[in-house]
């Protein structure tokens, strides 16, 4: 299984069952449209809370793909 860990605003988030290429494509598509997009992510450990991050040009965001098959 794969998940994407995200660092946004100094806080960790994650997206399960998606590749980093898929998430990058979603962000690029949103930025190409009206220059912003909402990215749906999970926040927290245990029971994660669905959260939406506003992505705009100039916003710092880091993505890291994690292979969870060994967990």
Residue extents of the structural domains in the chain: 2-56
DSSP state for residue 35 in the 8-state scheme: S
Look at residue 70 and tell me whether its pLDDT is greater than 90. Answer: no
Per-residue pLDDT, 47: 85
DSSP state for residue 57 in the 8-state scheme: T
Tens-digit pLDDT profile for residues 38-65: 999 999 887 889 999 999 999 999 999 9
Per-residue pLDDT, 68: 78
Per-residue pLDDT, 71: 61
**Which residue did the predictor score with more confidence, 21 or 68?**
21
Find out whether 6 and 20 touch, Cβ atoms under 8 Å: no
Mean pLDDT of 28-39: 91
């Amino acid at each position: 299984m794969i998940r994407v860990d995200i660092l946004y605003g100094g806080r960790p988030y994650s997206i399960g069952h998606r590749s980093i290429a898929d998430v990058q494509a979603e962000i690029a598509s949103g930025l190409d449209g009206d220059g912003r997009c909402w990215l749906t992510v999970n926040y927290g450990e245990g029971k994660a809370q669905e959260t939406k991050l506003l992505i705009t040009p100039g916003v710092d965001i880091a993505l890291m793909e994690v292979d969870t098959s060994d967990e």
